[in-house]
């Protein structure tokens, strides 16, 4: 037994590689569906399960990188969304919506599972609410010509009930009668076309048929992810005739999770793959081995892996022609540093039946005449322990024959564990009918981060294929497409890092008191995860940063005072260089052991740093073998250590902090969960013009506070007393309010304010309506009515970005508005709303209230965050390698 497994990673069976990879995963923790007939055996035997839904994410961008046309593939996943279209874009427009209403019907034509109908509702309701005329299209089944039992007519009552309006049903999908129904459709009305597959031209993607469908509408929305892998007339052909062509909310969410969450996952990242046959999951497993840290295998496929290692498997399901493949996958996992875990014990049965006799045995001791039908209790515990170390988990395929209660324990245990992890902030993605069936059966579907609706589309996406229905849609704005997906340090494994010199640009620009003591170590702590990851993988780490704005060598801006705290946080003695280039530095680097760290002196002691001098960049780069940028706060600067070095060193990748900033700031702005609100405060309109204008293109609700509001009030003719006003920005304020109205954005200004007789902490104060500020008084905070109305508006949202305080919160008397917003966002975070805090003042506010840890993300960037929110491209990000 030992000899049979000595060179592979078998959970519970000690091996060299298994122990090393398990240790690696341990160190990380320290530093909707359709249940088919029983013939469709979700686990070990029977037909293949629905295509792997969630595991593709990991595969997606890796395969894109290797493709012959990588740019197209990356951009194809960053698509314009229906949420990008404002009320003015939609009101009165005829919108062709391709949905996936392919639901199961019983013999009496009653819907037995309305999941897909319900999944389509958010997009349709958004269009209705914005005054569009909705033309709904779908297929049902696989009809050969007009087949009454495949008519969409039975879906109308449920659609009407869910939408709260009477949906009109057409008897065809093209032709004069359909044209008439479309012409008579009111704003906010919905017309359901008949099954598009009643025409053979649909699946042939016949251009003339596509043109006829397109002639019904003004623009196109594809919300049918389940058919996105098909180049059909209604999924791909129509887009050639209708512009804009955008993704619906469901399609967008699928891409967000399957591409976004897995292309740049929060690490450690685990994948769980089950199912009956290795052959059906080859592409998925191979792709995941390029991305994940831990791969857990279950289901009938495990016995092919066991037999490949010389173990007895009794009469368990084995693919004899895939034994070499199983061996090669184990070897690939070892080479990639992936902890591939197989069950150490299994539940075996004397026949394939729900009433079979059963017992638990070690995976290496399955007797003749018995077959494995589930994973055992020791395996469940080991799998759970591994999953406890993770931040992202994707699951496709059951652990056993879970249709039989006696052999459902493993699958149900995984479902419960993922539910538990979801409640702790782990991203959990469930894909494939069988996995979805499991979470539905256990009653935990609602707590998972994402449950995919796709079938073949998911599998193809996970295998790295491009989807015609996605590629055909309009691209998202350039900054999103270019910056959203960068290669991460997490994609580099031990083999890529061990013994390598890694130049890491961090942001250690922390405040020091007069005695050179650190007064806030937030930025140092934020840099630790990336450094520890590199150390644990045997890299030799060279840290570079700036501190302050020195003019040449300035001792008070030396990084030496940071060494003790860095050493304490990293658990090793950090070496300090007296320079950032030169022979002495080169000697220090040469003597650096694996896992060692050297901190270079302030790179801004050289004027060449901020000038991005190529020769200086080349000197910095000569110290290392590869580059990691984890300094988001300086990513908007094209300096030698942030942009120049990346041109010389390859790979050049993002650190974990940089990656997280991009995940939240790019992700939230490009593809937010709607409704999306922004809160913008601060003293002057002029400092936030770009941010406000950019956000008006994206948000549903915009709340304004701080000193800038009085410029808006005066622009409307209100008396503002002696409040701060930018007289030269009155026309701008007016134009921004008009733009909000045109874009259908709810722009809310405070209805009441707290005013003071002087700008001081001990000023006399009172609350007045915003339109009644007396002479000699100035507004210094928003009032209680405004706090209440702002809170009510925020209660309707799913994503919130906050930049800038509501008042002069440094004075306790005028801090109530800012603190109330902080508390409201903390409350909403606990309810699943994504809350992103940006800007020093906003961060200071949540820190003051003690709620920082409850927010989804607190940005470390200042100018970088603002420029990103303004839609600008960041040189330090663009210079990094694409994923």
Catalytic residue positions, numbered: 523, 684, 840, 863
**Dist CA 479 CA 481 (whole Å):** 6
Please check if 507 is assigned to a binding site: yes
- β partners of residue 677: 701, 800
Please check if 744 is assigned to a binding site: no
The per-type count for the chain, helices as H runs and strands as E runs, is 36, 30
Name which of 258, 230, 225, 273 is nearest 56 in CA terms: 258
**b (16+ CB within 10 A) / e for 659-678:** bbbbbbbbbbbbbbbbbbbb
Residue pair 710/779 in contact (Cβ under 8 Å)? The answer is yes
Please check if 591 is assigned to a binding site: no
Please check if 688 is assigned to a binding site: yes
Please check if 549 is assigned to a binding site: yes
Please check if 604 is assigned to a binding site: yes
* DSSP collapsed to 3 states, 644-693: HHHHCCCCEEECHHHHHHHHHHHHHHHCCCCCEEEEECCCCCHHHHHHHH
Please check if 158 is assigned to a binding site: no
**Dist CA 358 CA 389 (whole Å):** 32
**Cα angle: 221, vertex 222, 228; to 5 degrees:** 165
DSSP label at residue 604: G
End-to-end CA distance of the chain: 41
DSSP label at residue 633: G
CA 849 to chain centroid: 28
Please check if 203 is assigned to a binding site: no
Would you state the structure tokens that stand for residue 464, as one six-digit string?
A: 């790295």
**Dist CA 737 CA 432 (whole Å):** 46
**Dist CA 756 CA 386 (whole Å):** 58
* DSSP collapsed to 3 states, 798-863: CEEEEECCCCCCCCHHHCHHHHHHHHHHHHHHCCCCEEEEECHHHHHHHHHHCCHHHCCEECCCCH
* DSSP collapsed to 3 states, 402-450: CCCHHHCHHHHHHHHHHHHHHCCCCEEEEECHHHHHHHHHHCCHHHCCE
Please check if 41 is assigned to a binding site: no
φ/ψ of 570, rounded to 5, equals: -90, -15
Indicate left, alpha or beta for 212 from its phi (over 0: left) and psi (-120 to 50: alpha): alpha
Q: Please name the helix (run of DSSP H) or strand (run of DSSP E) that holds residue 133, with its range, or none.
A: strand 133-137
**Cα angle: 460, vertex 465, 467; to 5 degrees:** 80
**Dist CA 1 CA 362 (whole Å):** 11
**b (16+ CB within 10 A) / e for 140-174:** beebeeeeeebbbebbeebbbebbebebbbbeebb
Please check if 509 is assigned to a binding site: yes
Name which of 782, 784, 797, 780 is nearest 832 in CA terms: 797
Ranges assigned E (strand) in 198-291: 219-222, 245-247, 269-273
Would you state the structure tokens that stand for residue 120, as one six-digit string?
A: 């389509």
Please check if 637 is assigned to a binding site: yes
Please check if 730 is assigned to a binding site: no
**Dist CA 657 CA 569 (whole Å):** 16
Q: Reply yes or no: is the peptide bond before residue 54 cis, omega within 30 of 0.
A: no
Q: Is residue 771 packed enough to be buried (19+ CB in 10 Å), middle (13-18) or exposed (0-12)?
A: middle
CA distances from 214 to 134, 238, 376 (A): 13, 5, 55
Indicate left, alpha or beta for 706 from its phi (over 0: left) and psi (-120 to 50: alpha): left
How does strand 765-769 pair with strand 752-756? Answer: antiparallel
Please check if 839 is assigned to a binding site: yes
**Dist CA 680 CA 805 (whole Å):** 8
Please check if 622 is assigned to a binding site: no
CA distances from 532 to 27, 528, 623, 657 (A): 9, 6, 20, 12
Task: Tell me the binding residues for substrate.
Answer: 507-509, 546-549
Q: Which residues are annotated as a binding site for (2R)-3-phosphoglycerate?
A: 523, 604, 637
Binding-site residues, please?
A: 507-509, 523, 546-549, 604, 637, 688, 810, 839-842
Residue list, annotated binding site for ATP: 688, 810, 839-842
């Amino acid at each position: 037994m030992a000899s049979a497994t000595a060179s592979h990673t078998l959970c519970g069976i000690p091996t060299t590689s298994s122990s090393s990879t398990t240790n690696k995963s341990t160190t990380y923790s320290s530093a909707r569906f359709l249940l088919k007939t029983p013939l469709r055996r979700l686990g070990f035997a029977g037909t293949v399960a629905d295509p792997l839904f969630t595991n593709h994410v990991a595969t997606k961008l890796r395969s894109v990188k290797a493709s012959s046309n990588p740019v197209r593939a990356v951009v194809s996943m960053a698509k314009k969304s229906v949420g990008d279209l404002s009320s003015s874009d939609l009101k009165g427009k005829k919108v062709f919506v391709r949905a996936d209403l392919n639901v199961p019907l019983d013999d009496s034509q009653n819907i037995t599972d309305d999941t897909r109908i319900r999944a389509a509702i958010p997009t349709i309701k958004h269009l209705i609410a914005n005054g569009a005329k909705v033309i709904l299209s779908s297929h049902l089944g696989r009809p050969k010509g007009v087949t009454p039992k495949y008519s969409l007519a039975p879906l109308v009552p449920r659609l009407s009930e869910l939408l709260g309006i009477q949906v009109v049903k057409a008897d065809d999908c093209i032709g004069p009668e359909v044209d008439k129904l479309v012409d008579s459709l009111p704003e906010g009305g919905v017309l359901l076309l008949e099954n598009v597959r009643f025409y053979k031209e649909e699946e042939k993607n016949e251009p003339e048929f596509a043109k006829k469908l397109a002639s019904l509408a003004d623009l196109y929305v594809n919300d049918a992810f389940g058919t996105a892998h098909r180049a059909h007339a209604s999924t791909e052909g129509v887009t050639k005739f209708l512009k804009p062509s955008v993704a619906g909310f469901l399609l967008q969410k699928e891409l967000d999770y399957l591409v976004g969450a897995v292309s740049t996952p929060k690490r450690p990242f685990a994948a769980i793959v089950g199912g009956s046959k290795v052959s059906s999951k080859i592409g998925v497993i191979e792709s995941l081995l390029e991305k994940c840290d831990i791969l857990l295998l279950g289901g009938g496929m495990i016995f092919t892996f066991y037999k490949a290692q010389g173990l007895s498997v009794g009469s368990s399901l084995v693919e004899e022609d895939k034994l070499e493949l199983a061996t090669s996958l184990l070897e690939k996992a070892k080479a990639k540093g992936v902890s591939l875990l197989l069950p150490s014990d299994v539940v075996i049965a004397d026949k394939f039946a729900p009433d079979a006799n059963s017992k638990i045995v070690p995976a290496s001791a399955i007797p003749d005449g018995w077959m494995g039908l589930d994973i055992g209790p020791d395996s469940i515990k080991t799998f759970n322990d591994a999953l406890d170390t993770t931040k992202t988990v994707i699951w496709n395929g059951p652990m056993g024959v879970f249709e039989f209660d006696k052999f459902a324990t493993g699958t149900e245990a995984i479902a419960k564990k993922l539910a538990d992890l979801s409640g702790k902030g782990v991203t959990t993605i469930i894909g494939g009918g069988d996995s979805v069936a499991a979470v539905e059966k256990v009653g935990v579907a609602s707590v998972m981060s994402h449950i995919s609706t796709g079938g073949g589309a998911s599998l193809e996406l996970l295998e790295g294929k491009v989807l015609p229905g996605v590629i055909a849609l309009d691209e998202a704005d350039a900054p999103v497409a270019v910056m959203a997906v960068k290669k991460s340090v997490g994609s580099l494994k031990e083999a890529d890092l061990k013994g390598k010199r890694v130049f890491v640009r961090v942001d250690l620009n922390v405040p020091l008191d007069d005695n050179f003591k650190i007064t806030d170590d937030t930025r140092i702590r934020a840099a630790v995860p990336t450094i520890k990851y590199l150390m644990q993988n045997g890299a030799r780490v060279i840290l570079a940063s700036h501190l302050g704005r020195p003019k040449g060598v300035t001792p008070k801006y030396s990084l030496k005072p940071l060494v003790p705290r860095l050493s304490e946080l990293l658990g090793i003695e950090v070496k300090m260089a007296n320079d950032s280039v030169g022979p002495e530095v080169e000697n220090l680097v040469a003597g650096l052991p694996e896992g060692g760290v050297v901190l270079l002196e302030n790179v801004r002691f050289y004027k060449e740093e901020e000038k991005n001098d190529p020769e200086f960049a080349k000197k910095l780069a000569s110290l290392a073998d590869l580059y990691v940028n984890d300094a988001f706060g300086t990513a908007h600067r094209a300096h030698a250590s942030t942009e120049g070095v990346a041109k010389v060193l390859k790979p050049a990748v993002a650190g974990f902090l940089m990656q997280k900033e991009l995940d939240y700031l790019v992700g939230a702005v490009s593809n937010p969960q709607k409704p999306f609100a922004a809160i913008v405060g601060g003293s002057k309109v002029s400092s936030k013009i770009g941010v406000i204008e950019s956000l008006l293109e994206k948000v549903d609700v915009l709340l304004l506070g701080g000193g800038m509001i009085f410029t808006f009030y005066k622009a409307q003719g209100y008396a503002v007393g002696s409040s701060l006003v930018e007289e030269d920005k009155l026309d701008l304020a007016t134009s921004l309010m008009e733009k909000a109205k045109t874009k259908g954005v709810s722009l809310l200004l405070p209805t009441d304010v707290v005013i003071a007789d002087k700008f001081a902490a001990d000023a006399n104060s009172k609350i007045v309506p915003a339109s009644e500020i007396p002479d000699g008084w100035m507004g210094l905070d928003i009032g209680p009515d405004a706090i209440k109305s702002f809170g009510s508006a925020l209660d309707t949202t799913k994503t919130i970005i906050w930049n800038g305080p509501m008042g002069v919160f440094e004075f306790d008397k005028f801090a109530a508005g800012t603190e109330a917003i902080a508390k409201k966002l903390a409350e909403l975070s606990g309810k699943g709303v994504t809350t992103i805090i940006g800007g020093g003042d906003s961060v200071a506010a949540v820190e003051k209230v003690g709620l920082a840890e409850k927010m989804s993300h607190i940005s470390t960037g200042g100018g970088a965050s603002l420029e990103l929110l303004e839609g600008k491209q960041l040189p330090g990000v663009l210079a990094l390698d694409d994923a």
